[in-house]
Amino acid sequence: MEIKMIGSKIAEARKKINISQAQLAQRLFISAQAVGKWERGESIPDIITFDRLAKILGVDLNYFSENFQSVVIEIAPVESLVEQSNELPSGKRKNKLSWDMSRGNWVGADFSGLKNLNEKFSSSNMQRCLFIGSDLSGLLLKSNNVDRCDFSGSDISGSHIKSSNLANNLFKECSMKETEFSGSNIMGCDFSGSDFTGAAFKSGGFQNNPLSNAVWNRTSFNSMQIIDIVFDGTIEDCYFENCVFKRVTFRNSTLINTFFKNMSLKGIRFIDCQADRMTYEFLKNGKADLSGITLLLAPDINF
């Protein structure tokens, strides 16, 4: 394969989804200089990175071959899809949502109020789309790029967000109960008022996401990079294990039965917080600055 041809194709696809070299590099967990070298034809990605790159850019791996010809796919509006499904005989309406929008490039579409999406948007590039008040429970987003979309007021409980990039999206007042985020980079997303009861974050990035009044109960963070985050309110029965903390703040928080297993917790600041004895000892063992924490008084026991 011609290196310079591959570089120009990477640059072309990147510009089509309107992201910078630095933003692409961030989603690939590499340096912006490496992306620049690809686009100048000075080097090419390895095969594993090629696969991830194709998913982020919303293209097939064949796109990078010399003989690839782009194909334009016309997709009917959501309204007509719903109308077509309603035309099915009443006995078959149970399976009326037979369409699949995976591997699509969606910009500015309004999918508000939809339900039963499940795997229908996997491996897609979605920008500035609306999913307001939708039932997305049990959703699988695998290898998706989701940028500046609005999911406010949606039920995303029991979903799996896998190997995806979520950037600058609105998830206000969403139910994230029992949702799993694995291998995903989540940046600049507003989760204010969302319920993370039983949610799990594994092996990814969680950076600069507003979280005011979010619910944290039985929530787990494992092997995550947590950067520029402010937690508030009650954090109960949660755990943070093998995470990297940078500029993380707990403000006006009450930490109860919350487990911290990290080599160093020096990247965390506590402001006007309270903690029970067990949580306090976990923090102390991780050499956290405890000056902003007061111990919760043990309840009186009467015999």
pLDDT above 80 for 22: yes
CA distance 217 to 214: 10
Q: At 234, which CATH number?
A: 2.160.20
CA distances for 161 relative to 77, 124, 133, 172, angstroms:
25, 13, 19, 17
Question: What pLDDT, on the 0 to 100 scale, is given for residue 85?
Answer: 39
CA distance 122 to 157: 17
- Over residues 185-207, the pLDDT tens digits come to 999 999 999 999 999 999 999 99
* Helix axes 3-16 and 47-57, enclosed angle (nearest 10): 30
Please give the average per-residue pLDDT across 135-164, as a whole number. Answer: 92
- Host domain of residue 122: 103-295
Q: Which of 119, 115, 106, 111 is nearest to 79 (CA)?
A: 111
Residue 184 counted as domain residue: yes
Q: Specify whether 48 is located in the same domain as 111.
A: no
Contacts of 133 (CB under 8 A, 6+ apart): 112, 113, 152, 153, 154
Question: What pLDDT, on the 0 to 100 scale, is given for residue 29?
Answer: 72
Residue 98 counted as domain residue: no
What is the total count of domains within the chain?
A: 2
Q: Specify whether 37 is located in the same domain as 155.
A: no
Q: pTM higher than 0.85 for the full model?
A: no
pLDDT above 90 for 65: no
Question: What pLDDT, on the 0 to 100 scale, is given for residue 99?
Answer: 55
Cβ distance 173 to 192 under 8 Å? Answer: yes
Q: Specify whether 289 is located in the same domain as 167.
A: yes
Cite the DSSP H helix spans in 46-104. Answer: 47-57, 78-86
- Over residues 237-285, the pLDDT tens digits come to 999 999 999 999 999 999 999 999 877 898 999 999 999 999 999 999 8
- Over residues 266-275, the pLDDT tens digits come to 899 999 999 9
Q: Specify whether 258 is located in the same domain as 176.
A: yes
Q: Specify whether 268 is located in the same domain as 156.
A: yes
Residue 175 counted as domain residue: yes
Please give the average per-residue pLDDT across 96-123, as a whole number. Answer: 72
Q: Specify whether 140 is located in the same domain as 261.
A: yes
Q: Specify whether 283 is located in the same domain as 160.
A: yes
Q: Specify whether 145 is located in the same domain as 287.
A: yes
CA dihedral sign of residues 23, 24, 29, 35: negative
CA distance 298 to 303: 15
Write b or e for each residue in 100-119: b if 16 or more Cβ atoms lie within 10 A of its Cβ, otherwise e: ebebbbbeebebbebeebee
Residue with more model confidence, 43 or 301? 43
Q: Specify whether 118 is located in the same domain as 222.
A: yes
Average pLDDT of the chain to the nearest whole number: 83
